Amino acid sequence: MAEGLLQVDVASLVEDVLQQHGKRLSDIDLASRKAEEASSRRCEAAGWLRKMVGVVVGKDLPDQPSEEEFRLGLRSGIILCNALNKVQPGAVTKVVEAPSDAVIVPDGAALSAYQYFENIRNFLDSVGGMGIPVFEASDLEQGGKSCRIVNCVLALKSYNDWKEGGGRGVWKFSGTSKPPSIAKQFVRKNSELFMNSLSRNSSINEKFSDSLSSEQNSCSDLGQHISETGISHSLHILVRELLSDKKQEDIPMVVENMLSKVMEEFELRLARQNDQVRQTLRDMGIPSSNKHEEIEIANIVQEKSWSENGFYDGKSKGDALNHQGLVEHQQKSIQALKNTLHSTKEDVQMICMKYQEEINNLGKHLNGLVSAASGYQKVLEENRKLYNQVQDLKGNIRVYCRIRPFLPGQPSGSSIVEVIDEKTLTVLTPSKHGKGKKSFTFNRVFGPSANQEEVFSDTQPLIRSVLDGYNVCIFAYGQTGSGKTHTMTGPRELTKESIGVNYRALSDLFLISEQRKDSISYDVSVQMIEIYNEQSGVNVPSANLVPVTSTTEVLNLMNIGMKNRVVGSTAMNDRSSRSHSCLTVHVQGRDLSSGSVLRGCMHLVDLAGSERADKTEAVGERLKEAQHINRSLSALGDVISSLAQKNSHVPYRNSKLTQLLQDSLGGQAKTLMFIHISPEPNALGETISTLKFAERVSTVELGAARANKESVDVRELKEQIASLKAALMRKERGESGIQQSRSISPDEVLATSLGSSPSHSSWQSLGDTSKVEGRSNPLTISRVQSFDNQDFMDSPPWPALSSPGSMDEEKCISGDWVDKVIVKKQGGLSGDSNLGKWDEDGGQSPEMFYQKYNLENSKVYPVQSLNQLSDHRRFGLDHGLGRTQCEARANDEPDDLEAETSDCSEIDYQWQLSVPRSNCIPNGVTSKVGRVSPKPIKSPETRSLIPQPRRVVNGMRSPLHKYGRQPASTDGKRKPGGLK
């Protein structure tokens, strides 16, 4: 803005001046200008003459004479003649001198007109001859034209100058103009400043001066010059107009006048601009502290303006102005910087705002992401829950795999098992098994470094389930020495850290029951059962079902049980478990507010080690043990296979083990199998066999787990029904019937009729049911026989089955378990020879019971209703009708034992056993009637010694199993001792 104000266009300025003053310029008083010029010329001429003739001769002529003085001084002609003689010696041979000082004429007049005339004439003649313009003698008189005298003198002077300059060329007087001196003189007089600018502007000054001094200094020339300097066309026209009617000799004065006006205008504009600049500076906030500074700023502005217009390059103003210019420039720079700063600040603020906005948006976005992430976590958790629920609903057996570490003292070698992630492992297989890696996936894989706590942590939820009324089964499977006992119980020396699943589970159980005591009252009882050589027994003497109230009590019992467990030394494990050990925990909870009852049970099973007979180097008793162990494990494989194939018939009954686990393998239980593998290369076959078996197990669907819970109302109604049915049954038998051996509570009837687990039945039958349920039942009926652990203990050797054709057809009963039981009991009570034995021990001989019951059921249950039956019923049917060729063959071929044992040498021996045999019909139920072998079934299990049931003492049965009372025989089958 300031710069714009400072810019001055000279051309437009002159143009403006001419437009404003052009007309008036013609009115300028040329006379005065002329007089002035004449005076100047006169003085010049006088000065030159005095110089030429000297002070003495020229005493009559003042230095700056008036016209009169000039004329009088030269009137005698003496000065002129002397001057001429100086220029041209001898030009006037005789100069009439003035009289002596005594004869001085007061008015300066010549002594005589003649004498004067003589001198003047000689002079004029001489100069005339020299080509110098002359004057009239009368011009020296008053009224004469002194200007002609001046012209003559100046011409002579010019001649003299030419001559003194060497007289080169031809001297030629150029007239009245006195180019440089005149121009200089009058310009300097008006404006030195402007002249300076002109002198610096060569394009204007030189040409302008030249034009003034030139003989062709016509208006057109001047106009041409002006035009050539780039002045606008309108200016050119104006100048031409202005000068066109002027005499040549007037032009300098006109121009001077015009320029003086231009200067005035110029200075006026500069003043205005200075004001504007000051105002601008004030507006810009730059204080001008004093007048001096203002002037300097104005000068700088002016200088800049001139400089920009080409008049002035700043040098002549000196360093001060330069300094001021620098200061001003710096101030301007500062201001510019301030402006930049300001705009930058605004920009920064803008950016900050945008940044803030973006931050806010980002924050919102992040919040969204955080909530999405937490939502995602929730969804993940939910998914996990749902997954478990789905698993529960599907009822899959969960399979966890644990890899034992190399043991101290073992030859160190590289492990054949590699944990890939928490669900996957690979086994390195040498060429024999197809070189490479076989990978297996389970619900969890625990590497060799996993400790007891980690292993248990994934088991914990199941403990809670027991208290919620579910049946739970946790069993450990694996090759001898692979770590089953370590997982379930712990190492030989137990510490808080090393205790196994059993102890931890019970500890949790009591902890949770304690936490819930305000709402639910729990009763817990435990039982330790051992299956040794397909014979079962209790490990805890004096009682097979012991109420417990704390972990310590359980630990004491378990210690006793563990001491009584059959262990022996094999080539693979110097402390090998030679039996299947099952710790069963029964829980009954009563909701204190609603009165509803929950029942749950948990089997904690430590299976005997699977092993190849040849590997264990077993002979004698140890070989027999191995055969039994493998047989029962093979039976387990068969059961698993049947379940995996969803066969309607599942051969639980083929071994005590599968009978024991029946409610957990096929019922509505939550089942977890820990499989154990060893890392040694020489265990590869067993390892792969175990893994394949486990893989297969993991596909088994058990059906949705269901809590054993019932409300008080429903329960009361069911009790009534059960009572009525029991009464009806008694009535049907007649009052004269056989004395009932034992009273049965409606609960017992209900328990079976509702399909609760055999364990529950067992518990109820062994305990004081009226106490458990908090009510007494006056009804006395025959003991309900369920297939439970007690049955294992009580079961005598299996008698030969009659052919189905020999079975008595009995009436079909509607399918209720109670009915079934009743019918069974009826059969049992209607004159069976074994009855006395049963009664004697407070119940029917299981052997007889099974036989009778099965036969009866084969007639009672229509084939099409089988699938709707509970497991108990199915078991009943399996037992009676379900003796398919498969089972029959299994039972009919005791020699298979050897074959099965030898099968163990094959990697997939379980699968060989589990694959349905060719003559097995999947649906054994439908096919069994016509195919049941008439051959009496030989059951290896039943050949074993089965302990006799004992009477109930104080609500508990007396110790039954011989192994419960005495340690293993000296052959190492049983060893007393503490915990392993």
Nearer residue to ligand ATP within complex by CB, 625 or 788:
625
Nearer residue to ligand ATP within complex by CB, 71 or 486:
486
Binding test (CB under 6 A) with ligand ATP, winner from 257, 577, 654, 786: 577
Within its chain, how far is the Cα of 114 from the centroid? 129
Residue with nearest beta carbon to ligand ATP: 609
| Options 108-116, 574-582, 835-843, 918-926: segment touching ligand ATP (CB under 6 A) | 574-582
Nearer residue to ligand ATP within complex by CB, 209 or 901:
901
Do the Cβ atoms of 555 and 583 come closer than 8 Å? no
Nearer residue to ligand ATP within complex by CB, 58 or 609:
609
Nearer residue to ligand ATP within complex by CB, 404 or 824:
404
Nearer residue to ligand ATP within complex by CB, 177 or 905:
905
| Options 385-393, 473-481, 542-550, 913-921: segment touching ligand ATP (CB under 6 A) | 473-481
Binding test (CB under 6 A) with ligand ATP, winner from 229, 573, 630, 662: 573
* Interatomic CA distance for residues 94 and 685, integer angstroms: 165
* Least Cβ distance, residue 448 to ligand ATP (angstroms): 7
646 belongs to an annotated ligand binding site? no
| Options 280-288, 431-439, 484-492, 863-871: segment touching ligand ATP (CB under 6 A) | 484-492
* Interatomic CA distance for residues 220 and 483, integer angstroms: 129
* Least Cβ distance, residue 869 to ligand ATP (angstroms): 36
Binding test (CB under 6 A) with ligand ATP, winner from 205, 485, 741, 851: 485
Site mask for ligand ATP (CB under 6 A), range 578-617, x = bound:
------------------------------xx--------
Nearer residue to ligand ATP within complex by CB, 6 or 660:
660
Nearer residue to ligand ATP within complex by CB, 619 or 717:
619
* Interatomic CA distance for residues 786 and 818, integer angstroms: 11
Contact call for residue 483 and ligand ATP (CB under 6 A): yes
Alpha-carbon Rg for the chain in angstroms: 71
* Least Cβ distance, residue 405 to ligand ATP (angstroms): 5
Tokens coding 788: 């439970």
* Interatomic CA distance for residues 632 and 792, integer angstroms: 14
Binding test (CB under 6 A) with ligand ATP, winner from 104, 353, 380, 407: 407
47 belongs to an annotated ligand binding site? no
* Least Cβ distance, residue 500 to ligand ATP (angstroms): 9
How many residues at the interface with ligand ATP, by CB under 6 A?
19
Nearer residue to ligand ATP within complex by CB, 418 or 892:
418
Torsion angle in degrees (nearest 10) through CA of 912, 914, 916, 920:
110
| Options 45-53, 425-433, 482-490, 722-730: segment touching ligand ATP (CB under 6 A) | 482-490
* Number of other CB atoms surrounding residue 506 within 10 Å: 26
| Options 66-74, 273-281, 477-485, 846-854: segment touching ligand ATP (CB under 6 A) | 477-485
570 belongs to an annotated ligand binding site? no
* Least Cβ distance, residue 629 to ligand ATP (angstroms): 9
**Close Cβ partners of 731 (under 8 Å, ≥ 6 residues apart):** none
Nearer residue to ligand ATP within complex by CB, 674 or 817:
674
Nearer residue to ligand ATP within complex by CB, 115 or 689:
689
Do the Cβ atoms of 438 and 427 come closer than 8 Å? yes
Binding test (CB under 6 A) with ligand ATP, winner from 22, 108, 179, 491: 491
479 belongs to an annotated ligand binding site? yes
Tokens coding 96: 């009439």
**Whole-number Cα distances in Å, 794 to 176, 194, 784, 950:** 167, 143, 14, 9
In 489-604, alpha helices (H): 501-515, 551-564
- As a three-state string, the secondary structure of 650-690 is CCHHHCHHHHHHHHHHCCCEEEEEEEEECCCHHHHHHHHHH
550 belongs to an annotated ligand binding site? no
* Interatomic CA distance for residues 633 and 725, integer angstroms: 41
* Interatomic CA distance for residues 301 and 312, integer angstroms: 12
| Options 25-33, 378-386, 476-484, 795-803: segment touching ligand ATP (CB under 6 A) | 476-484
* Interatomic CA distance for residues 795 and 798, integer angstroms: 8
Which residues 673-692 are close enough to bind ligand ATP by CB under 6 A? 676
Site mask for ligand ATP (CB under 6 A), range 529-568, x = bound:
----------------------------------------
Contact call for residue 859 and ligand ATP (CB under 6 A): no
484 belongs to an annotated ligand binding site? yes
Nearer residue to ligand ATP within complex by CB, 361 or 451:
451
**How many helical (H) and strand (E) elements, i.e. helices and strands, does the chain have?**
39, 17
| Options 126-134, 480-488, 548-556, 721-729: segment touching ligand ATP (CB under 6 A) | 480-488
**Close Cβ partners of 796 (under 8 Å, ≥ 6 residues apart):** 845, 846, 847, 848, 942, 946
Residues β-bridged to residue 676 = 402, 478
481 belongs to an annotated ligand binding site? yes
Do the Cβ atoms of 476 and 674 come closer than 8 Å? yes
Nearer residue to ligand ATP within complex by CB, 405 or 967:
405
* Least Cβ distance, residue 635 to ligand ATP (angstroms): 17
483 belongs to an annotated ligand binding site? yes
Residue in this structure with the two tokens 């370590």, named with its chain if needed: 486
Contact call for residue 332 and ligand ATP (CB under 6 A): no
The H or E element containing residue 525 is strand 520-532
| Options 39-47, 254-262, 403-411, 966-974: segment touching ligand ATP (CB under 6 A) | 403-411
* Least Cβ distance, residue 452 to ligand ATP (angstroms): 8
* Interatomic CA distance for residues 835 and 849, integer angstroms: 9
* Least Cβ distance, residue 676 to ligand ATP (angstroms): 6
Binding test (CB under 6 A) with ligand ATP, winner from 274, 471, 480, 564: 480
Amino acid residing at 411:
P
Contact call for residue 622 and ligand ATP (CB under 6 A): no
Binding test (CB under 6 A) with ligand ATP, winner from 217, 274, 471, 482: 482
Residue 38 burial (CB < 10 Å; 0-12/13-18/19+)? middle
Do the Cβ atoms of 523 and 936 come closer than 8 Å? no
Binding test (CB under 6 A) with ligand ATP, winner from 236, 404, 928, 974: 404
**Close Cβ partners of 778 (under 8 Å, ≥ 6 residues apart):** 743
DSSP string of 404-468? PPPPTTSPP---SEEE-SSSEEEEEE-GGG-SEEEEEE-SEEE-TT--HHHHHHTTHHHHHHHHT
Contact call for residue 481 and ligand ATP (CB under 6 A): yes
**Close Cβ partners of 752 (under 8 Å, ≥ 6 residues apart):** 761, 784, 786, 817, 818, 821, 872
* Least Cβ distance, residue 461 to ligand ATP (angstroms): 22
* Interatomic CA distance for residues 820 and 110, integer angstroms: 189
Nearer residue to ligand ATP within complex by CB, 482 or 723:
482
* Interatomic CA distance for residues 276 and 269, integer angstroms: 10
| Options 214-222, 436-444, 572-580, 885-893: segment touching ligand ATP (CB under 6 A) | 572-580
Which residues 872-891 are close enough to bind ligand ATP by CB under 6 A? none
- Please report, as ranges, the residues that interact with ligand ATP according to CB under 6 A: 404-405, 407, 478, 480-486, 491, 573, 575-577, 608-609, 676
Write out the binding residues for ATP: 478-485
